[in-house]
Amino acid sequence: MPRYVAFLRGVSPMNAKMPELKRCFESAGFTNVKTVLSSGNVVFDARAASAASLERKVEAAMTQHLDRSFQTIVRSAKALRDLLDADPYAAFDLPAGAKRVVTFLRTVHPAKLSLPLEKDDARILAMKNQEIFSAYVPGPRGPVFMVLIEKTFGTDLTTRTWDTVRKCAAA
């Protein structure tokens, strides 16, 4: 059975408990369910299906069992491993201390953009299919890259660090 990763937008330990999310996924019929970190990353096995159908199934299960739902973006674990192996950051000279982040879109963004885009030490470096690769240098103003990403792509997305993507792909 294929392995998938669900990235839930806006989840934190303050608004969702990982054991409850795990039970929610199991109640939807998914197997080998595991949460990764406490920020809405759920890895699971399911029969082969489109990301969109899995997203709908996960969101319906959350509505039924948690009385709320978080926007869900699903990728196969294999697609994440392929993404990691391709290392889109290798083509860029990033400053020391730069954090790498991947933004996952639910649908392909239609606009042709001239990349990289930069604002406040945050750079959108590349875009491939439904993934956006950015880097930022942490500073006193916090994660300024999200302002640039949401201004460019909207809010039908979720973002994870490169390290979190690696952990999810390996889980």
pLDDT in tens, 100-116: 999 999 988 877 788 88
Domain count, the chain: 2
Q: What is the pTM of this model?
A: 0.93
Q: What is the structure's pLDDT at 114?
A: 83
Please indicate, yes or no, whether residues 41 and 72 belong to a single structural domain of this protein: yes
Query: pLDDT class for 46, splitting at 50, 70, 90?
Result: very high
Question: Which of 58, 79, 100 finishes a domain?
Answer: 79
Tokens of 58: 């996960």
Please indicate, yes or no, whether residues 56 and 100 belong to a single structural domain of this protein: no
d(CA 57, CA 53): 6
Please indicate, yes or no, whether residues 114 and 142 belong to a single structural domain of this protein: yes
User: Which residues span the domain enclosing 20?
Assistant: 3-79
Look at residue 52 and tell me if it is in a domain: yes
Question: Which of 27, 48, 79 finishes a domain?
Answer: 79
Please indicate, yes or no, whether residues 70 and 100 belong to a single structural domain of this protein: no
Look at residue 168 and tell me if it is in a domain: no
Please indicate, yes or no, whether residues 12 and 60 belong to a single structural domain of this protein: yes
Question: Which of 62, 79, 96 finishes a domain?
Answer: 79
Q: What is the structure's pLDDT at 38?
A: 86
Q: What is the DSSP string of 16-38?
A: --HHHHHHHHHHTT-EEEEEETT
